[in-house]
Structure 1
Amino acid sequence: MARPGTDNKGSCLLCLKAVKWIPVLFIVTIVAWSYYAYVVQLCLITVENTLGQVFYLIFFHLFFFMLCWSYGQTIFTDIGKVPSTFKISDADFEAYLHHNNSLEMQNRILENYAKTLPVTNVTIGGSVRFCDKCKTIKPDRAHHCSVCGECVLKMDHHCPWINNCVCFTNYKFFVLFLGYALLYCIFICLTSLPYFIAFWKGDLRGMGRFHILFLFFVAIMFGVSLMSLFGYHCYLVLENRTTLGT
């Protein structure tokens, strides 16, 4: 028999997990709408030149596919959890807690366990980096993510737009996603610009012209944001650093 309040707690956790997917759903909705606005309203209805339609559709679908693939890989790639060899035994953890008034004794316990581990980074005080929530000695560049509830290898940051940690396992896909998303926005801006100008001249007719108008503005807005973010992460890659400074 379940304890009183257990069901309510489980329902709250499910609701919290569902809420975390709202930013992802927002991005997916924007991308799906951009597909309709570009393919249907711009290419199939507005563009009259058949050769132009073919050119636009081929390159658009190339960028669209790469954008969706990299975004999906970034979201659904499992976070890089710290190997079990870095987790101290229950007996050592009990001894660690027993000496909670002596930092020297605690550090001695951790140093003794970390002798066989490839760990070089230490705290500002020179102690072994340890996560008492995961009972794990932290490998270099590993950090505890409070959202995921795990110590994550080479953690960069927890991104709400992918509902996942950007870390060792999916950082490549994250950078690719930023790059392909930027190319996607640039392509849309360049190819829709003549029709955006035609809109302001009054040469476009029908309700579809508003889709083209908003498509251009949305592509510009996201493109500017992505340009700075992609450039920043390219800099971090060249410097072999993360946003956490390691």
Structure 2
Amino acid sequence: MAISRGLRCCQRIFSWIPVVIISSVVLWSYYAYVFELCFFTLHNTLEKVTYVLVFHVCFVMFCWTYWKAIFTPPSTPSKKFHLSFSDKERYEMEERPDVQKQILIDIAKKLPIFTRAQSGAIRFCDRCQLIKPDRCHHCSVCETCVLKMDHHCPWVNNCVGFSNYKFFLLFLSYSMLYCVFIAATVFQYFLKFWVGELPNDRAKFHVLFLLFVALMFFVSLMFLFGYHCWLVAKNRSTLEAFSAPVFQNGPDRNGFNVGVRKNLTQVFGEDKRLWLFPVFTSQGDGHYFPLRTLCESQNPLLASEGRWGEDGGSDEDSTDGEVEHDPSVTIDVEY
């Protein structure tokens, strides 16, 4: 037991290594750009002031979004998705798989759940002892179920999901902007150092590596950011892109795709003035989402206490609880 705790402690320590690497590179880039380039290399005062001001705007937004992506805890399912003491006892004492499956089905009727496991059974997490909401998955690194889990990112040492997906996207975008600004402003001085127009001092080393590092990170970030833009437009998570969510009628990669505009709104919110700032504006509570094949009035985005109250039941249909998955009823999809 002590060895196991020691291993977990070492794992937690080592998991911060990628964050330390990124932070070290960023701090070095700050010193190299502000001091070695702007203060020691530039002689034009207007150019120097302009570069420093714009650089600090990019630097602050990068640090702000990176901080939010790292330290925003993943959202976990509410207590309504956990088995009650009696249900848990009944489930664990039952040895017949078919009866266990039926127990979960009966409990799930009281919850807004539309997805299923590959076998068609209710998605249940044995480790967290809860019925998984739609788009929720268990993260073995965080050791918890995460709402609308996208992936576990080692570069932020955090699970990217419902609570911080917007922050992660902004982190990628401001990282690209940070790299582009550095590369664009450093390039002319890189050429001057290269051809010998500027003195061969220590600033040359920093300026040369600034350009290489900025371009290297930009290329890698460009592909990752482009991929996530495509995911947002399709309303898919990384996990759903590799394995389509399963509904009552079978797998459907576009099950949550309700149109580009509405997909964007789910992640960034209605107020476009806040889209570029790392403040939480995503719609809903992460427990369930509009479905492409269901009427919006039957499957609202925002959780309603009237729909699944403290007792877990539904005021609209206490006997059924779950809206039938009727493919003949559709909503207008905007592409």
TM-score range, shorter chain: over 0.9
Pick one of 213, 220, 229 that aligns with 2:208. Answer: 213
Look up the match of 1:126: 120
Look up the match of 1:95: 90
Look up the match of 1:19: 14
Aligned AA for 1:223? F
Secondary structure of 2:238's counterpart equals coil
Look up the match of 2:195: 201
Question: Where has structure 1 moved over 4 Å in runs of 4 or more?
Answer: none
Secondary structure of 2:145's counterpart equals strand
Is residue 54 from structure 1 mapped to residue 49 from structure 2 by the alignment?
yes
Is residue 31 from structure 1 mapped to residue 26 from structure 2 by the alignment?
yes
Look up the match of 1:228: 223
| Structure 2 Cα separation of the partners of residues 90 and 149 of structure 1 | 22
Mapping of residues 45-84 of structure 1, within 5 Å: 45-84=40-79
| Structure 1 Cα separation of the partners of residues 173 and 144 of structure 2 | 28
Q: CA RMSD in A?
A: 1.3
Higher relative contact order (CA 8 A, sep 6+): 1
Greater helix share, 1 or 2? Answer: 1
| Structure 2 Cα separation of the partners of residues 242 and 9 of structure 1 | 32
Pick one of 170, 176, 179 that aligns with 1:182. Answer: 176
Deviation, 1:77, is: 0.5
Aligned AA for 1:201? V
Deviation, 1:111, is: 0.8
Secondary structure of 1:139's counterpart equals coil
Look up the match of 2:318: none
Secondary structure of 1:96's counterpart equals helix
| Structure 1 Cα separation of the partners of residues 210 and 152 of structure 2 | 29
| Structure 2 Cα separation of the partners of residues 41 and 145 of structure 1 | 43
Q: Bigger shift: 16-25 or 62-71?
A: 16-25
Look up the match of 2:109: 115
| Structure 1 Cα separation of the partners of residues 5 and 122 of structure 2 | 36
Deviation, 1:207, is: 1.2
| Structure 2 Cα separation of the partners of residues 106 and 199 of structure 1 | 72
| Structure 2 Cα separation of the partners of residues 226 and 30 of structure 1 | 15
Structure 2: stretches of 5+ with no match in the other structure? 246-335
Deviation, 1:95, is: 3.1
Aligned pairs, how many? 240
Q: TM-score, normalised on structure 1?
A: 0.94
Aligned AA for 2:84? S
Q: Deviations over 1:181-236 (max 9, x none)?
A: 00000000100000111122012221110100001000000000111111111111
Q: Percent same amino acid at aligned positions? A: 52
| Structure 2 Cα separation of the partners of residues 241 and 103 of structure 1 | 32
| Structure 2 Cα separation of the partners of residues 114 and 10 of structure 1 | 35
Look up the match of 1:152: 146
